[in-house]
Amino acid sequence: MPEVCGSMQNFKESLRRLANMGKGGLIGGALGIGLTACAIPALLGVVGFTSGGIAAGSFAAKMMSASAVAAGGGVPAGSTVAVLQSVGAAGLATSTKAGVTAVTASVGAGIGASKKPLGPLIRLWKAKWYR
C-alpha cells in the first residue's frame, strides 16, 4: 500500500495535536462564554453599577460625578457612564449578549487552541517583575 501522506506515525501525531488543539479551543471557548454570562455583570456590580442605580461612594459614583462635571451638570445620554448604568440596571439585550458571547468565545477558543498562548506574556511579566 503506497503512503500518500507520510508515515502512519506522522499521521497519528498530527491527529494527536489536532485533538489537543480542539480541547484547548473548547476550554477557551467555554471560558469566553462564562466571561460574558457571569464576569461582566458581576464586574459591573462590583464597581457600583447595580440594578438599583449607582452605588454611593463607589467607582461608578466617581465616574458619574466626573462625567457630570465635564458635561456641565448632567450625565449625557449615550455616554460611557449612561451605557454602563443601563447594562447594570437592566442587563444586556439578547442580541448584544449573542454578539459579545460570540466574540469572547472565539477569542478564548483561539487562545486555547494555540500551542503556547500565554508564553510571551508570562516571559514579559517575569522580565518586568523578577529583576
Q: Domain-by-domain residue ranges, the chain?
A: 8-129
Query: Residue 58: what pLDDT?
Result: 92
CB-CB contact of 67 with 79 (8 Å): yes
Q: For residue 129, give Cα distances in angstroms to 81, 112, 118, 119, 121.
A: 34, 25, 16, 15, 12
For each of the chain's 131 residues, which pLDDT tens digit applies? Answer: 444 444 556 656 655 665 666 667 777 777 777 777 777 788 888 899 988 889 999 999 999 999 999 989 888 888 889 988 888 888 777 777 778 778 877 777 777 777 665 666 667 667 766 65
